[in-house]
Structure 1
Amino acid sequence: MVNLILGNCPASWGVRWAGAGPRPPWRRFLDELAGAGYGWLELGPYGYLPTDPSRLNDELARRGLRVCAGTVHGCGGLHRAGEFGDMLARTRRAAELAAGTGARDLVFVPVPGYRDEFTGAWAESDKLDDDGWKVLVRTANELGKHALGEYGLTLSVQPHADTHLETVAQIGRFLAETDPAYVSLCLDTGHVAYAGGDPAALIAEHPDRVGLVHVKQIDPRLAIRAQRESLAYGQAVALGACCEPPHGLPALPPVLDAMRERGQDAFVVVAHEPPPGTEDAAAVAARTRDYLLACQNQ
Structure 2
Amino acid sequence: MTLDLRWSTDIVTFFNPTYWDLPADLPYPEWEKRVDVDPKPFFDRMLDGAATAGLSGIELAPAPGGWVNALNSYGSAAAFKKELDARNLVLSSSYALPVHLKAVLDAPDESAKKAARQQLHDDTAAHAEFLREVGCPTLITSTIPRAEFSEIEGVDAPSADFDAPTDPELMGEVAEELNGIGNVVSQSGLHLAIHTDAYSLASRTADIDALMAQTDSARVKLCIDAGHIALDGGDPLAVARGHADRAPVLHWKDCAVHLPPHTLSGPPMVRHDEMIKYFRVMGSGGVVDWREWTRILKSKQWSGWGVAEIDMSIDPLREIREGIEYYDRELSTL
Q: TM-score range by the shorter chain?
A: 0.7 to 0.9
1:61 CA displacement? 1.3
For normalisation by structure 2, the TM-score amounts to: 0.76
2:31 to 22, 40, 63: 22
Q: Contact 1:212–1:267 at 8 Å: present in 2 too?
A: yes
SS in 1 for 2:248: strand
Q: Contact 1:7–1:38 at 8 Å: present in 2 too?
A: yes
1:213 CA displacement? 0.7
CA distance, structure 2, for counterparts of residue 204 and residue 268 of structure 1: 16
Larger-Rg structure: 2
1:190 to 210, 213, 227: 227
Moved more, 4-13 or 263-272: 263-272
2:247 to 210, 230, 252: 210
What's the C-alpha RMSD, in Å, of the aligned pairs? 2.9
CA deviation profile, 1:110-144 (whole Å, cap 9, x unmatched) = 3688447995887xx65653332221010011111
1:243 aligns with 2:276: no
Moved more, 183-192 or 23-32: 23-32
1:286 aligns with 2:318: no
How many pairs are equivalent?
286
SS in 2 for 1:107: strand
Moved more, 80-89 or 95-104: 80-89
1:218-297 equivalence runs, <5 A: 218-220=255-257, 223-224=258-259, 226=260, 229-231=263-265, 233-238=271-276, 240-246=277-283, 247-274=285-312, 278-294=313-329, 295-297=331-333
1:22 CA displacement? 3.1
1:148-159 equivalence runs, <5 A: 148=186, 150-159=187-196
CA distance, structure 2, for counterparts of residue 193 and residue 176 of structure 1: 22
In the other structure, the counterpart of 1:39 is 56
Q: Quick one: which amino acid aligns to residue 60 of structure 2?
A: L
In the other structure, the counterpart of 2:120 is 87
SS in 1 for 2:71: coil
1:152 CA displacement? 0.8
CA distance, structure 2, for counterparts of residue 188 and residue 109 of structure 1: 11
In the other structure, the counterpart of 1:108 is 141
In the other structure, the counterpart of 2:132 is 99
In the other structure, the counterpart of 1:146 is 184
Distance change (3 Å), C-alpha of 1:146 and 1:64: same
CA distance, structure 2, for counterparts of residue 250 and residue 4 of structure 1: 19
CA distance, structure 2, for counterparts of residue 200 and residue 191 of structure 1: 12
For normalisation by structure 1, the TM-score amounts to: 0.84
Moved more, 27-36 or 88-97: 88-97
CA deviation profile, 1:80-112 (whole Å, cap 9, x unmatched) = 462322222232222112111111211113368
Q: Alignment identity in percent?
A: 20
Q: Contact 1:158–1:186 at 8 Å: present in 2 too?
A: yes
